[in-house]
Structure 1
């Protein structure tokens, strides 16, 4: 049976049916019932998720994205094979317990929670079951580079800093476990493809060759310690941090670099497709499910991508006519990639332009959605990871802007990038999700790519209504970004299902977008080494755009864009089938109120 969302996607794009629900149907949200009024089923469900979440938060579950553990942890996570299988046992047991809960007996609110939580645990278990931990990095992100984000965690007391130093001293053990996992992956042919590994050791070498520990981003928290810590203790903490970085972290990076260059790269697989690996078809199917929350087939996704590419191309052609450019589409792309008027001359110029765009958004955003209390800052991407990172990335509190290689960072793309990564995109959505105090912690502290990235891409389009794009070139940049996400559907499935070569993928992205050659290369390598993740953006955005169009049509003059956005954002981060159910309920409630 198809979910309503999958059915709508396939119908809208004239594709064959056949996708299944990613989560059980969710009913409209209701006010939380007091614990005293809980039904036995609600109490049973709450006991399951509270116990598992407490275990996960205490460090029993998977490590966070930055490789760090709980705030009071004195060691890095245990990522060894035995610990991974221990986690799988817990999650399989949780799934078995959830199967004994009748979703129909739950409150309306808990039916939503159940759908979200079960899929969350299912994905965690599947990742371990498929031994995805044996490939703990890709061309975009890695466990060693993500350590730099560990230093951004708030620390207030001397004990906080001592815990952090203890974790730094535990990096060698953590790296050794990751290395053993990667060796196991190599042995069974489960690795990042060799074709995208050239130059990736640079981010390791940056640390392994460090002479002065105080120049490491990991030392940054010690440059200005809280005044509440006595001066003598501050000096002691600073010395201990220097010793930890110089004596533990740097040697661990040097050892990792030797392994990476002498073992990993020479033994990495020569194929590209995820489906070409042992168990690859099951792995790619699960990656699609995890990142899209839908059970579409690779072929269905490929067809959606081709149709979106054709639609966006027509809009791009319209802008070329508008600016009266005389030449072919390829010549227009060359003009955009090479004319100096479109590029910042200094990193500060790029940062300042992004800040100006974000302040212009501040001037109108209140008309479109309820704002969170939290704000965000704009900072450059750390230099050790910048060469292989995307143009920018955002989340609650921070918008990282990549100032590396300025000729690859066109200003005409900056409005779309800023809308996506800061407000009203990731920074705003993440802040609002954190403020949903009535929701269980497993929802507030979870990020579902199809929802979050779909919202980010939708915000790029919303910028047209908000008046953020000031020139046809900036609007073309918006379309380039939308084309980029549509092309991902074609490229990701082309590589991992249809057997495309790297050059085919590069040519497709190069020929359809105004992305710089640097970005074309880093992005394609990201898709090759990170199957499925790139699919979440466009599929999520298609769902939100379609739901808004339905709300506008059915509510007519009673449609309120701010109320619609609040309905989407109040969900936190949810699978697309859950969002579908919730917005259908929102439309029905609005119609009932009007009548």
Structure 2
């Protein structure tokens, strides 16, 4: 999945809100832009204007929102984008780094790396498999949060009218992929067709109608009634037939023809494709063998930590027996969805009281906590954080242990992804593309780092909570072993499931969903641990260089205020910050 599409997925759980005021830039004089700065700015300003039109986005304050149609996804659309981005990359390469100001060097590095990944994916024709076990193009239609005003409702109505064209282009792409053996692995599609079913039903219970059930009071009643009537017409007469056609295609053509192999290496030129996916998601030039070795080393380290924590609980049995105890004892599981959501909300609120010890500046934008929508909950991950909402999965409560929830809340909500997104929104003024570019190594690395940070803040109240954190850390370390094992070393699905089950206390449902995610989304799962290791390495360097002068608050401020960047850029900028702090008079 391209960075742009991943950003769309993350935005799907972000509710509309007023634009936040940008935080002031760091103190100090700002030099006049160089000629090279001006050349680069002209390039990225033009690219951003083009991109907004190309992908049917509108600007609302500081954020992009869906326009009145879906972006074209036919091969000609992707060929046009590749030609344009190839030129942008060439134009940027002609701007000498040595003549750019420090901030513009970051801008160039960010846009270069993100467009490099976009162009590479078009070359691989990844648009011929526009789904994986976790994310689906048909999920882009329904707004998963409320719409704010009449203009947003009108744009949504127009998008509903565009659903047949959007689906038909994706189906045509998928058929082209089928002809050349480029499909999602069949195992990763199991049950995914059921996510389409609710959208094939006419009437007000269709999920596409949800946002019309409660509309903003600012929209006059007569306009609300007219929009509801138009929505009912479009949903029943246009969208429902398109979803029904898609469901038939998935069940009768695509799923039966999907490949039975699971490795990226089994795709056309698969080994090179997998290395490209590693580069996209980690922004590092590491091969599968090196990553596999890092994973094995981390698994061994964390395994020792987990056994020490088990000893603290007083449990006398073996490691497998302790895992079985955790998976079966009712004290560790919520009895109702409200209980699980309340546990998460309590953890988030406890963290709120510690934020003053983590940052010097806090964002104004606030997030809420919601359950994962019923339509996708059976195959959705345990939780996911976005700008305005942090989602927790309340489906199959016996698979949602409470001892994991503190770590999950830190990662997904605060000071993890929801907080991180608000910081990015209100960061020092920078180009619009910087606010909406997402690199998994940076973003997911920060999320995993915040789980570890909880140990410094007293967030884990019992050894079981700490074991939950360790099992999450082990989960991310095991991903390095499993992802590379599956996609370049011939591992089977069952081998991957057994490996994850034997090293973590994750529920069986989560383990199977996660392994299927790794199978159908090569490389993405590598970003978390590699990003976290880099952040902790930089923190260790700062502590060693600054000694008793080290303060984690400006360290965190600096890390998040740069926004999402490739890991090599993050490393370069944080090393510069450490040097500047060290040079400051005592």
**What are the equivalent positions in structure 2 for 1:99-248 lying under 5 Å apart?**
99-148=93-142, 150-152=143-145, 154-157=147-150, 159-208=151-200, 210-212=201-203, 214-248=204-238
Q: What is the aligned partner in structure 2 of residue 392 from structure 1? A: 383
Per-residue deviation, 1:499: 1.1
Task: Check if 1:511 corresponds to 2:502.
Answer: yes
Find the aligned partners of 1:31 and 1:128 in 2 and give their Cα distance. 42
**What are the equivalent positions in structure 2 for 1:395-414 lying under 5 Å apart?**
395-414=386-405
Find the aligned partners of 1:61 and 1:466 in 2 and give their Cα distance. 42
**What are the equivalent positions in structure 2 for 1:272-351 lying under 5 Å apart?**
272-351=262-341
Per-residue deviation, 1:397: 1.2
Per-residue deviation, 1:145: 2.4
Q: Contact 2:56–2:68 at 8 Å: present in 1 too?
A: no
Q: Which runs of 4+ in 1 moved over 3 A?
A: 29-34, 61-64, 69-72
Q: Contact 1:145–1:385 at 8 Å: present in 2 too?
A: no
Find the aligned partners of 2:55 and 2:122 in 1 and give their Cα distance. 11
Per-residue deviation, 1:43: 1.1
Find the aligned partners of 1:229 and 1:300 in 2 and give their Cα distance. 57
Find the aligned partners of 1:49 and 1:232 in 2 and give their Cα distance. 43
TM-score after normalising by structure 2: 0.92
Q: Counterpart of 1:594 in 2: which secondary structure?
A: coil
Change (3 A) 1:592 1:40: same
Q: What is the aligned partner in structure 1 of residue 37 from structure 2? A: 42
Find the aligned partners of 1:354 and 1:245 in 2 and give their Cα distance. 35
Change (3 A) 1:424 1:218: same
Find the aligned partners of 1:572 and 1:507 in 2 and give their Cα distance. 37
Q: What is the aligned partner in structure 1 of residue 21 from structure 2? A: none
TM-score after normalising by structure 1: 0.91
Change (3 A) 1:525 1:93: same
Per-residue deviation, 1:474: 0.5
Q: Deviations over 1:532-587 (max 9, x none)?
A: 00000000000011111111111111000111111111111111111111111111
**What are the equivalent positions in structure 2 for 1:540-579 lying under 5 Å apart?**
540-579=531-570
Per-residue deviation, 1:146: 3.5
Find the aligned partners of 1:62 and 1:135 in 2 and give their Cα distance. 21
Find the aligned partners of 1:585 and 1:30 in 2 and give their Cα distance. 16
Q: Contact 2:149–2:219 at 8 Å: present in 1 too?
A: no
Q: Deviations over 1:422-465 (max 9, x none)?
A: 01000111111111242111111111110010000000011111
Q: What is the aligned partner in structure 2 of residue 23 from structure 1? A: none
Change (3 A) 1:31 1:238: farther
Find the aligned partners of 1:263 and 1:424 in 2 and give their Cα distance. 44
Q: Counterpart of 2:461 in 1: which secondary structure?
A: coil
User: Which shows bigger deviation, 512-521 or 227-236?
Assistant: 227-236
Q: Contact 1:138–1:192 at 8 Å: present in 2 too?
A: yes
Q: What is the aligned partner in structure 1 of residue 350 from structure 2? A: 360
Per-residue deviation, 1:329: 0.6
Q: Deviations over 1:382-434 (max 9, x none)?
A: 11111111000001111011000100000000000000000100011111111
Tell me the matched-pair count: 556
Q: What is the aligned partner in structure 2 of residue 97 from structure 1? A: 91
Q: Counterpart of 1:145 in 2: which secondary structure?
A: helix
Find the aligned partners of 1:473 and 1:70 in 2 and give their Cα distance. 41
Task: Check if 1:82 corresponds to 2:76.
Answer: yes
Q: Contact 1:80–1:178 at 8 Å: present in 2 too?
A: yes
**What are the equivalent positions in structure 2 for 1:418-497 lying under 5 Å apart?**
418-497=409-488
Q: Contact 1:30–1:108 at 8 Å: present in 2 too?
A: no
Find the aligned partners of 1:272 and 1:32 in 2 and give their Cα distance. 54
User: Which ranges in structure 2 are unaligned for 5 or more consecutive residues?
Assistant: 1-25
Per-residue deviation, 1:279: 2.1
Q: Counterpart of 1:393 in 2: which secondary structure?
A: strand
User: Which ranges in structure 1 are unaligned for 5 or more consecutive residues?
Assistant: 1-28
Q: Contact 1:272–1:499 at 8 Å: present in 2 too?
A: no
Find the aligned partners of 1:72 and 1:328 in 2 and give their Cα distance. 52
Q: Contact 2:357–2:553 at 8 Å: present in 1 too?
A: yes
Q: Deviations over 1:296-319 (max 9, x none)?
A: 000000000000000000000001
Q: Contact 1:376–1:398 at 8 Å: present in 2 too?
A: yes
Per-residue deviation, 1:217: 3.0
Change (3 A) 1:151 1:386: closer
Per-residue deviation, 1:199: 1.5
Q: Counterpart of 2:226 in 1: which secondary structure?
A: helix
Per-residue deviation, 1:62: 8.7
Q: Contact 1:30–1:109 at 8 Å: present in 2 too?
A: no
Q: Counterpart of 1:447 in 2: which secondary structure?
A: coil
Find the aligned partners of 1:499 and 1:63 in 2 and give their Cα distance. 41
Q: What is the aligned partner in structure 2 of residue 54 from structure 1? A: 49
Q: Deviations over 1:44-89 (max 9, x none)?
A: 111110000111112x14989xxxx964732211111111111111
Q: What is the aligned partner in structure 2 of residue 17 from structure 1? A: none
Find the aligned partners of 2:119 and 2:230 in 1 and give their Cα distance. 38
